[in-house]
Structure 1
Amino acid sequence: MRRRARSRSHTHANSSASPSNRAQVNGRIAPKALTRFKDRIRELTQRTRGVSADQMIGTLHRYLTGWRGYFGFCETPSVLQRPDEWVRRRVRCFFWKQWKRGRTRFRELTARGVSRGPCRPDGGFSARCMETEQ
């Protein structure tokens, strides 16, 4: 005789799998996990690390994909949005360090769609030049 598989969530009064408790679960990322995340991103995006941009992007992509897969349950989008903005700034700083000469910076920024207004081809840049990149 075959037995039927049945749910055992009814056997425990304080089970976290019960439907009433599911609505109360708030996906939140622990501060220590965010600190470890930032430390690892700092390691991967060091501007003087001596790796190519493609290699850095590949390693960063692997790490971020895994991190997003693990912490993807988070229900508060601002918790994931702020680290995303921070990572983008780190990557911009990585490229800014690689583009040492003003002409290179001008060429690379205009190739990426930044208007020529705030950026001068002789290498003179204002703070507005980096703001428009975002």
Structure 2
Amino acid sequence: MTRHRTPGGKAAERVKSRIRMSSRRGRGKSIAATIEELQPKLRGRMNYFRHAEVRGVFEELDGWIRRKLRCIMLLQWKRPRAREKNLLKLGLSKKTASPPETDTAPGGTQGPRR
């Protein structure tokens, strides 16, 4: 009988550190190139832990990766007008996508959450 285990915090931190190295801001790569670089690393981690009970760990990691990718996209859209235009293309409403008076909305002038 196989014992199913969950990966410890160190394993998740190692995955995050490798993803951080691949998605550093100063790398100057497109979002597609970043995703292509991340795919084999994530696939390898999933295969390594496929017999463990990792659903919650991977759901948390998935949200963290999506947030990192959104941050990269928003950093590539440097000007508020470009952010507004691209967020409208992605389906956000005009009110949500437009540069706000305060800096808390996605099109804000302080940039994405890091």
Aligned sequence identity (%): 32
* Matched residues, number: 106
Instruction: Confirm or deny that 1:75 pairs with 2:53.
Output: yes
2:55 maps to amino acid: P
Deviation at 1:76, TM superposition (A): 4.3
Q: Tell me, in whole angstroms, the C-alpha distance in 1 between the residues paired with 2:106 and 2:72.
A: 16
Q: Tell me, in whole angstroms, the C-alpha distance in 1 between the residues paired with 2:51 and 2:104.
A: 37
Q: Contact 2:4/2:51 (CA < 8 Å) preserved in 1?
A: no
Let me know the Cα RMSD of the aligned residues.
1.9
Secondary structure of 1:57's match?
helix
Change (3 A) 1:106 1:89: same
Deviation at 1:30, TM superposition (A): 2.2
Secondary structure of 2:27's match?
coil
Rg: which structure is higher? 1
Give the 5 Å matches for 1:51-62: 51-62=29-40
Q: Tell me, in whole angstroms, the C-alpha distance in 1 between the residues paired with 2:94 and 2:103.
A: 12
Q: Tell me, in whole angstroms, the C-alpha distance in 1 between the residues paired with 2:51 and 2:103.
A: 40
* Bigger relative contact order, structure 1 or 2 (CA pairs below 8 A, ≥6 apart): 2
Q: Tell me, in whole angstroms, the C-alpha distance in 2 between the residues paired with 1:73 and 1:113.
A: 38
TM-score, length-normalised on structure 1? 0.69
Provide, for residues 51-91 of structure 1, a one-character-per-residue CA deviation record: whole Å limited to 9, x for no partner.
Answer: 22221110012211221121222324212111111111111
